[in-house]
Structure formats: C-alpha cells, structure tokens
C-alpha cells in the first residue's frame, strides 16, 4: 500500500506542480518483516517524462541518499515538465544494521554454503518465480518495479564503492550522451550486459534508458561526492527535458571505453603503504605511484612506477570485505592500487 496522498497513476501525465513525501509498503510479509520505503515525488506543472532515481539498495551506500535530499530540496517544480520519483532508501533494514544486505552481508566475503541471494541488486525481475519469491529483497524490488520503475522514461541507480576507489558513472554505449550529460568527471562505457537481476539490467532490457553511478565512499558522507551526485541528478532531469536548461558538465571528463587498459598494483612485501598521490590524480609514465615501507627500518621495500600515462583509480590496502576496516598496513600479494588509461579525455 502507498501512503494516502500519493497517486501513482500516470504520474508523468499529471499536472499541478508540487512536492510530496510518502511511504511505499511491500505487499507481503517475507522473512518475518513487512517494510516501508520513503518516496519523494517532484511533480511538474506540465505533463512530460517520468524519471525514477533509486539509492541505497545496499545499506552502506549513503552518498546517494544525501544527493537525492539536496536535489529534491533545490528542484523548482513550477519549472518542471513531467515528474521525478526518488526512492532514496531502498533497503531500510540493511541501512539501520550498518550492513550491505539483509539479513546477512557476510555471504559477500565468506564461503558459507548459503545459496539464497541476499543482494538486492540481483533480485530485480519482471515476474516472480518459485526460486526468487518469498524474500525481503524480492518484495521490495517487486513493488518498486510495478509501482514506478516499469513506467519510467529514464532511470538512475546510485551506489557506492569503498573509499579506496574513485567514483564512476556507467552505462551502455547507446546511452553515451546520457552518461556525458550526467556530468561526473569519470565515466565508463559498458560493453557487456549488466549483471542479471540488477536494477539497470531490468530497466535497460525493458527499453528504459538507464545508468548506474558509484558515489564513493561507503559508510560516510563526503560533501564533494554529494555535490557530484546532486549535480548528476539535476543534469539527468535537464537532459530528459524534465527541467529546463543545459546540463552542467565539468571542465574535463575522463571516458573509459570498452577494453581500456588497466594496471593492477600488487605489493610483494609487507609494510606501510604510502603515496604522494590521491585517488583521481593523473600520473605520468615513470612517475612513482606508491611505495611500501618496511615496518622494521622504514626503508622502501616495494615501489611502483607508472608504466604509462594514466589515472590513479584505486589506492589503499583493499579491505577483506565491506565489513572490515581499511588499513595502510599491507601484506605480500595484496592489491594496493589500480591505474586506468582513459580512452578519451574531453574538455568543455
């Protein structure tokens, strides 16, 4: 059921500008719970396209929520055509439990023998089957698909990688203009199909232009990242004709096309990981990217120089799962960095 006052019938064809907040309730009890999702609707003064923006399918991914809050606050519905529906907290139990999935997130990192899927972004289906029914996440994706997403003209799904990685927008080549207009400085063109059961997979396979954006980091709010997310949401609405004006793009955008070159950096020594660079920095061929210092002498025991001009995409001792703390103390064989070579670099 939907909180009274929110009519989902033909949202994009309705008129009467305004903003509404409500709750979308799952249809059935599953895994012991029945839950409600917050819904924010910005309705334009004229009929037009419908945009659906989702965030926090995984409970540690918070910057998309803050991005939606800021965008919703700043939207002027009197200047809107059509409608924007925001579902900022898709996984209300996981976020409260400080974990990616509900009821368990450890399936991501450890071999448990459990076969049940608990990753919401693998639970999107047009129709239920006997193998994916009767779960908390399936109840949520089912009601969101039927109520909003299947009616959308454009879809944006917001996620978050850990703070070891750079934020990244991703989409199909046929949606390249949307990716660029979103306005994140870094975007990747996806060649193969999205993971089966993901929100973007279902939207795109249903003919709905869709993209995904990872807004780094997890667990914490980063003002710079939130600003990127808010601008991206506003740009998507402008690109779709829901808001007037041209999308605001950064001075430089890095495009990572299919088959772009990557260089995974793994240390062969134990020690303290140090670098003069930050994630997102361009590095030139031959430049020292990072070093590992001995915990006995503080002398360098591992050093990595860039094999080519590239962008520092990952930096840090990779955690052993989102439930473990990052650490600059690293061990032999650990991935400590990633370089990506942009296929294109464009300026405004």
pLDDT of residue 322: 59
| CATH number of the domain residue 48 falls in | 3.40.630.10
257 inside domain? no
Q: Is the dihedral of CA 112, 113, 117, 122 positive or negative?
A: positive
Has residue 66 got a pLDDT over 80? yes
Number of domains present in the structure of the chain: 2
Has residue 114 got a pLDDT over 60? yes
pLDDT of residue 1: 33
2 inside domain? no
pLDDT of residue 109: 80
Q: Render pLDDT for 288-345 as a digit per residue (tens, 0 to 9).
A: 999 999 999 999 999 999 999 999 999 987 666 656 677 899 999 999 999 999 998 8
CA torsion 77-79-83-88 (nearest 10°) is -50
Note the Cα 103 to chain centre separation in Å: 21
Q: Render pLDDT for 95-106 as a digit per residue (tens, 0 to 9).
A: 999 999 999 988
Instruction: Look at residues 205, 222, 250 and tell me which one is the last residue of a structural domain.
Output: 250
Closest to 275 measured CA to CA, from 320, 223, 330, 221: 330
Question: Does residue 217 share a domain with residue 270?
Answer: no
Instruction: Look at residues 250, 278, 300 and tell me which one is the last residue of a structural domain.
Output: 250
Phi and psi torsions of 174, nearest 5°: -65, -15
pTM over 0.85: yes
Mean of per-residue pLDDT scores for the chain: 91
Instruction: Look at residues 223, 250, 277 and tell me which one is the last residue of a structural domain.
Output: 250
Q: How far apart are CA 43 and CA 178, in angstroms?
A: 22
Q: Render pLDDT for 258-273 as a digit per residue (tens, 0 to 9).
A: 989 999 999 999 999 9
Q: Are 154 and 51 in contact (CB under 8 A)?
A: yes
Q: Is 123 exposed, middle or buried (0-12, 13-18, 19+ CB in 10 A)?
A: buried
| CATH number of the domain residue 287 falls in | 2.40.50.100
256 inside domain? no
1 inside domain? no
Question: Does residue 102 share a domain with residue 220?
Answer: yes
More confident residue, 118 or 345: 118
**Between β-strands 271-274 and 329-330, what pairing exists: parallel, antiparallel or unpaired?**
antiparallel
* Planar angle of CA 237, 163, 259, nearest 5 degrees: 70
- Packing angle of the helix pair 223-239, 63-74 (nearest 10 deg): 50
The residue segments making up the domain with residue 224 are 11-250
Q: Cis peptide before 103, with omega less than 30 degrees from 0?
A: yes
Q: Are 12 and 47 in contact (CB under 8 A)?
A: yes
Q: Would you place residue 2 in the very low, low, confident or very high pLDDT band (cuts 50, 70, 90)?
A: very low
Q: How far apart are CA 247 and CA 270, in angstroms?
A: 47
Question: Does residue 218 share a domain with residue 277?
Answer: no
């Amino acid at each position: 059921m939907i909180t009274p006052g929110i009519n989902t019938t033909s949202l994009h064809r309705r008129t009467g500008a305004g903003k509404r907040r409500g709750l979308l309730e799952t249809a059935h009890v599953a895994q012991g719970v029945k839950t409600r999702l917050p819904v924010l609707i910005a309705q334009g003064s004229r009929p037009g396209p419908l945009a659906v923006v989702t965030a926090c399918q995984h409970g540690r991914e918070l910057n998309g929520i803050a991005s939606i809050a800021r965008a919703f606050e700043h939207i002027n519905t009197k200047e809107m055509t059509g409608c924007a529906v925001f579902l900022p907290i898709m996984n209300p139990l996981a976020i409260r439990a400080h974990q990616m999935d509900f009821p368990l997130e450890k399936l991501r990192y450890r071999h448990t023998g459990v076969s049940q899927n608990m990753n919401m972004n693998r639970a999107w289906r047009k129709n239920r089957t006997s193998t994916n029914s009767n779960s908390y996440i399936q109840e949520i994706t089912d009601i969101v698909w039927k109520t909003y997403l299947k009616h959308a003209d454009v879809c944006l799904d917001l996620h978050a990688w850990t703070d070891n990685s750079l934020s990244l927008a991703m989409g199909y080549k046929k949606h390249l203009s949307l990716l660029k207009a979103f306005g994140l400085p870094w975007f990747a063109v996806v060649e193969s199909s999205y993971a089966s059961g993901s929100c973007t997979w279902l939207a795109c396979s249903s003919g709905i232009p869709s993209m995904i954006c990872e807004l780094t980091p997890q667990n914490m709010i980063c003002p710079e990242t939130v600003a990127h997310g808010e601008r991206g949401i506003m740009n998507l609405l402008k690109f779709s004709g829901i808001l007037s004006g041209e999308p605001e793009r950064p001075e430089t955008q890095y495009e990572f096309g299919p088959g772009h070159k990557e260089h995974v950096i793994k240390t062969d020594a134990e020690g303290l990981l140090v670098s003069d660079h930050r994630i997102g920095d361009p590095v030139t061929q031959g430049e020292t990217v990072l070093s590992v210092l001995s915990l006995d002498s503080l002398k360098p025991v591992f050093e990595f120089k860039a094999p080519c001009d590239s962008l520092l995409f990952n930096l840090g001792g990779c955690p052993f799962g989102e439930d473990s703390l990052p650490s600059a103390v690293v061990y032999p064989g650990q991935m400590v960095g990633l370089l990506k070579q942009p296929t294109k670099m464009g300026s405004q």
